[in-house]
Structure 1
Amino acid sequence: MSERVVDPCSGTFPWEGWGACLSWWAGTELGRRDDLARALFGRGRTRVRLADQDVTLPGLGLTVVRYDLGACTWPRPGDGPARMIESPRIVRRKQIEGYWRGTDWDWAADANQRSMLLKSRDLGADHFEMFSVSPPWWMTVNGNPSGAERPDQDNLAPPHRETFARYIAAVTRHARDHWGVRFGSVEPFNEPSLLAWHASQNQEGCHFTVDAQAAVLTPLRRALDERGLGDVRISASDECFYSQATNTWRGLPADVRRMVGRVNVHGYERDDESAGRAALRTAVGATTPIWQSEYCDGEPSGLKTALNIGRDLRSLHPRAWVYWQPVDGSGWGLLTGAYDDTTPHPNGGAPGSLRATVTGVNPKYYVLAQYTRHIRPGMRILDAGRRDTVAAYDDAADRLTLITTNAGPARTVTYDLRRFSRAAGHGDDHAVRVWVTDATDDRPARTYARDHDARLDGRTFPMTHAPDTVTTMEVDNVKP
C-alpha cells in the first residue's frame, strides 16, 4: 500500500483552464459542427454524429482556445504576378487562410475556423490566444509558408518584421471590434528553434533564431499598444521542447523578456523524470506564468496523456494545458477524424479538400474528461506528493479533487488529508465521489463512469486502483 499526502500550502498555483487548438481540424467543415463544439466546449452530455452512428459524450468544458492566424492566400483576377509557393508535400487542410493579401484585406477568409472560434465563445470559453505558425507567404524570404530552403534559415524577411507585427495587431483589433472575441494573448512563433521547417514540409512553419524572435517581439508590443491593445499580453516562444524553451528564454535580452507576459511551451520532449520541466520553471521564475500550449500523442488509450498531465502540473506549474488536435487520425485525436487529403487540385495545387468526418471516439477523450470536468478555472493546484496524482482545491465550494493515474497492476493507495483542518466528505456517510476510465487501447469497460463511493475514515481514505486506469475523486466539506 502506498500513500499520497496532500499539502494545501505547498506548490499551489492558480488554474486558468484546459483547452484546444483550432487548426487544422476546425479549418475543415468540422468547424461548422455544433455537436463537436458542444462536446469540446460544453459541459452537458451531448450527442455527436459519427460516420456510422451517434454517440453520447460528456462535454469536456474546455475554456482555453488557441486560434491559428493563417499564412496562405491564393491569386485572384487582377492580382500581380507574385504567387505563393506551395510545398510539394502539403495538403489543403493544412493551409490556413490569411486575411491580409499585401494589398488588401479579406475578412471572409478562414470561415470554418472562425465559426468554431465563435461557437466556443458562445459555449463559455473565455481565454483566447491567437498564434502564428508562419508569417503570410509574401512576407517570407522564399514565398513559401512551409519554411525556408534549409531548416536552419529564418524565413521571415527582415524588412517585414514590422509588417508582421502590424498584421498580428490588426487582426487582434479586428477580432475585438467585429467578431466579439477578445484575444487575451498573441503568440508570433511556433516551435521557432526546431530544425524542421523547410520548403518541403507538410505543413506551415517558420524558423526564427533567438535574435530574430527579439526583433519581432519589440515591434509587436509597439503595434499592439498603438491599436489600444495594451491589455493583450505577448506569449513566447511556443518551443517544441522544454530544453529549447529554457535556452530561448535565457537568450532573449532582459528588456525583451519584460515584454513577454507568459511563456508558452509544447510538450513533445521525452521528460519522464521532469528535469526539463523543472529547469524551465526555474529559468522563468515563480512569477512569470507558463502555459503548456500544445500537447498531443499517438496513443489512443490516454494513459500517456494522463501521465504527462501529472508531470506537467507537478514540475512545470502551467496555468493552462492545451491539446493540439482534438479530432485526428491514427490515435492522435481525442476523436478519430477522417480527412480528404487526396482529391487532386484542378490547377496543380495542394491536393485534398476541406471535407471531413468523425469516425470514432478514443478512450483518451474520456481520460481527459476526468480532468477537465473536475478541475475548473479558478481552482488551485496543490501538491499531492507524487507525479501520478493531481490535486486541486475549489475555495468557493470547499471541495478537493484528486486524480490518480495507475499505469501498472492493481494497487491500493491511502490518501492522507490530515494537513487540512477539516475533511468531512459528502453527507453523513463521509462519502468520496469516484469516476473511473479504463485507459486501454482495447474497448474500455469504463468510460468516465461513476464508480462506487469511497469513505473517509477521519481524514484519510483508501482507494484500490485497477490496472491502467485514471480515477477522479471528489471530497466535499474540506477546509485547508
Structure 2
Amino acid sequence: MKKAAVVIDCGQKYQAMRGFGASGAWWAQEVGGWDRTDPASGKSVRDRISELLYSKTAGIGLSIYRYNIGAGSADSGKGDIGNPLRRAHCFETVAGEYDWSADANAVYMMRQAVKDGADEIILFANSPPERLTVNGKAHSNPGFRPNLKGKNAPAFARFLMDVAEHFAGEGLPVKSISPVNEPQWKWTGGQEGCHDRPRGVRRVMRACAEELEKRPALKGVKLSGPENGDIRFFNKSYIRPLLYDKVVKRNLDAVDVHSYFTQIRLPLLGRLVNDRPAFLRRFGKWMAKKHPGVPVNMSEWTHMKGGRDSGMDSALEMAKIMVEDLSLMNAVSWQHWIAVSEVDFCDGLIYINLADKTFELTKRYYATGNFSLFIERGAERIAASCDDEQMLVLAFEKDGKITVIAVNRADEPISCAFPPGPADLYVTDDNADLKKIPGIEAGDVLLSPRSVNTLVYQSNR
C-alpha cells in the first residue's frame, strides 16, 4: 500500500478566508417558483434546494450568494439569447423608476439563502440595462466593441447603487457590487454580457466609486472586479487601472478573478500556455509585490465540459482547482459560477429537471462541502505539504483549531501520516458523501481512492 506523510507548519501563515459561495444566475428565476412539496424533506422544493446549499446543519454551509442584476433581456425579448434562462429581468422601468416585484423568483432565492445562513450578498451585473447600451441590447453586436456608451457610465452607476440601496434597506447583507463581468470576451449573444476595454472598465468603476461615496445608506459596501474570464490573459491589463486610481482603490473590496483555464492546442507552445499552476504563481507573486494587502476573490469557476457528470471525475477536478487557487493565488474566497444547472453540461452543484421539478445532488456538491462546512470565515491558511504528488493538501487554523483538506487523486488507497492527534475525518468518494468517521488517530489515516477528505482535529494544537 502507498504511504504518504503530511507536514504542517502553524508558524507560516497566509490569507484569512472569507468563505465559499455560488451565484443564482440562470436558475433562481426558475427554481424560485417551485413551491411544490419535496417528499423527502416535507419542504417546498425551492426551500429545500436553498437549505441544501446554505444551511450549516442541513446542507453544505455556503456563505456567499451572488445575485445577478439583470439588464432586461427577459423583459424586452431583444437579442440573440436562445435559452430563456440566460435572460434576466431588470428592475428599472424608466430612468430612476423601479418595479421591485420584477425578478420575483430570483429575489426569493436570495432572501431564502440569507435565511438559511448566507451572510454575504454580492450584486453583480453581466450587462448594463438595455437603455444604456450602444445597440439597445444586453449583449454586444458586433463583438469586441464596448456596448456601454461612455457618457452613460454615471447613469449605470446610479442604477447599480439604487438596486444595492433597495436590498440593503431590506436588511440583506449586501457586501459588494461588481459592475462588470468578463469584459475581455466579445459577448455577441447566448447570454447577457458586455465587452469593454481596460480604460472603459476603469471608467465604470470610477463612476461607481464616486456614486457609492454619495450614498450613506451604503456605508461599508464595497466594489469588486474586474472578473476577468481566464486566469491567463489580460488580468494585469484590467487590474492596473483600477488599483492605480485612488478613488476606485479606496472603494474596492478585492480584486475578483475567474479561474477558467481552457486548454489551448499549440504544437510548440502548448506546455507553456497550459501550465495553470505557473500562471497562478506568477499572478499571486505579482499581486503580492505590486499590490500588497489587496485580497483576491476567485469569484467564478465551473467545469467547462460537455455532458452531465454527477460523479467523482468532476469532483476531483474541482477539488484540484480549489486547492490550486487557495494555495497558489491565495484567494480569500472561492465561488461557483452557478449553484444549480438544468442543462447537459458539467456545471452546478445540483442538477434540476425542468419537466418534473426534481433535483439531484452531485459529488461536486459534497466535495464542495468538504471545504465550505469546515473552513470558517477568518480561518488562516497555514503551510502544508505532502511527499506524494498524487495528494493535494491544504491546512487552516482558527483559534488554535486545525482543519486539513486532503485530496487523494490516486486510483488506490493511501496510508497517510498527518501530525498525530485525535481527529474526525469526513470523506467524499465514489461510495461516501461527506461521511463522518469520528475519533481517528491522525498519525495513521487510510484515505480511500479518488477521494476528497477533511480532517478536523478535536483539540487545539
TM tier, shorter chain?
Answer: 0.7 to 0.9
Which position in structure 2 is the counterpart of 1:165? 157
Tell me, yes or no, if structure 1 residue 290 matches structure 2 residue 293. no
Aligned partner of 1:49 in structure 2 is: none
Amino acid at match of 1:72: G
Report the CA distance shift for 1:167/1:312 in structure 2 as closer, same or farther (over 3 A).
Answer: same
Cα deviation for residue 95 of structure 1 reads 1.3
Q: Verify: 1:451 aligned to 2:433, yes or no.
A: no
Q: Specify which of 193, 196, 199 is matched with residue 211 of structure 1.
A: 199
- Gap change, CA 1:209 and 1:413, over 3 Å in 2: farther
Mapped to 1, the partners of 2:25 and 2:181 lie a distance apart of: 13
* Structure 1 vs Structure 2 CA RMSD: 2.2
Q: Which has the larger radius of gyration?
A: 1
CA distance in 2, matches of 1:154, 1:140: 9
Does the 8 Å contact 2:256/2:296 carry over to 1? Answer: yes
Alignment equivalent of 2:278, drawn from 272, 275, 279: 275
- 3-state SS of the aligned residue for 1:445? coil
1:303 is the counterpart of 2:316: yes
**Cα shift at 1:377:** 1.5
Mapped pair 1:336 → 2:351: yes
SS in 2 for 1:311: helix
| CA 1:409–1:182: 2 relative to 1, 3 Å | closer
- What corresponds to 1:185 in structure 2? 176
**Aligned counterpart for 1:143 among listed residues 114, 136, 154:** 136
Structure 1: distance between partners of 2:457 and 2:444: 13
Q: Please state if 1:324 is matched with 2:330.
A: no
Contact 2:90 2:103 (8 Å CA) reproduced: yes
The gaps in structure 1 that reach 5 residues or longer are 46-58, 76-83, 341-355, 418-422, 426-430, 439-443
Q: Secondary structure in 1 aligned to 2:105?
A: helix
**What amino acid sits opposite 1:109 in the alignment?**
A
Distance 1:62 1:5 in 2: 28
Partner of 2:144: 152
**Identity across matched positions, percent:** 24
CA distance in 2, matches of 1:287, 1:364: 31
User: How far 1:129 moved relative to its partner?
Assistant: 0.9
Equivalent residues of 1:6, 1:415 under 8 A apart: no
Q: Give the SS at the match of 1:470.
A: strand
Q: Indicate conservation of the 8 Å contact 1:406/1:465, yes or no.
A: yes
- Flag the 1:407–1:414 CA change in 2: closer, same or farther, 3 A: closer
Distance in 1 separating the partners of 2:448 and 2:365: 19
Letter in 2 for 1:139: L
Please show how residues 398-417 of structure 1 align to structure 2 within 5 Å.
398-412=400-414, 414-417=416-419
Pick one of 27, 30, 46 that aligns with 1:28.
Answer: 30
Partners of 2:411 and 2:74 in 1: CA distance? 55
From 191, 216, 228, the equivalent of 1:239 is 228
Structure 1: distance between partners of 2:231 and 2:80: 31
Match of 2:239 in 1: 249
How do 1:9-88 residues align onto structure 2 when only pairs under 5 Å count?
Answer: 9-30=11-32, 33-45=46-58, 59-72=59-72, 84=76, 86-88=78-80
| Structure 1: distance between partners of 2:361 and 2:253 | 36
**Which one of the candidate residues 211, 220, 223 is aligned to 2:211?**
223
CA distance in 1, matches of 2:453, 2:128: 43
- 3-state SS of paired residue (1:190): coil
Alignment of 1:263 onto 2:276: no
2:446 paired residue number: 464
Instruction: Report what 1:374 is aligned to.
Output: 374
The Cα of 1:236 is off from its aligned counterpart by: 1.1
Specify the SS of the correspondent of 1:478. Answer: coil
State the distance in 1 between where 2:132 and 2:60 align: 38
Contact 1:31 1:112 in 2 (8 A): yes
Q: Which protein has the bigger helix share?
A: 2
Measured after TM superposition, the shift of residue 252 of structure 1 is: 4.2
Is contact 1:249-1:284 (8 Å) kept? no
- 1:347 — aligned with what? none
Q: CA deviation at 1:37?
A: 1.2
Q: CA deviation at 1:306?
A: 0.7
The answer on whether the counterparts of 1:192 and 1:237 sit within 8 Å (CA) in structure 2 is yes
For 1:129 and 1:269, how far apart are their aligned partners in 2? 23
**3-state SS, counterpart of residue 166 of structure 2:** helix
1-structure distance, mates of 2:281, 2:13: 13
1:10–1:382 contact (8 Å) kept in structure 2: yes
* Equivalent residue, structure 1, for 2:428: 437
What residue ranges of structure 2 are gaps of 5+ in the alignment?
Answer: 35-45, 263-273
Q: Which residue of the partner structure matches residue 267 of structure 2?
A: none
Contact 1:405 1:470 in 2 (8 A): yes
- Stretch of structure 1 that moved more, 107-116 or 271-280: 271-280
| C-alpha separation in 2, matches of 1:378 and 1:321 | 14
Distance 2:454 2:33 in 1: 31
Q: Quote the Cα distance in structure 2 between the aligned partners of 1:65 and 1:359.
A: 20
- For 1:37 and 1:85, the matched residues in 2 are separated by 29
| 1:391 corresponds to | 395
> 1:60-139 to 2 correspondence within 5 Å?
60-72=60-72, 84=76, 86-103=78-95, 104-139=97-132
Query: Are the counterparts in 2 of residues 250 and 283 from structure 1 also a CA contact under 8 Å?
Result: no
Pick closer, same or farther for the CA change 1:126–1:112 going to 2, 3 Å: same
Once the two structures are TM-superposed, the CA of residue 334 in structure 1 deviates from its matched residue by 1.3
TM-score by length of 2: 0.85
Q: Offset at 1:8?
A: 1.1
Distance 1:294 1:338 in 2: 23
Alignment-mate amino acid for residue 150 of structure 1: P
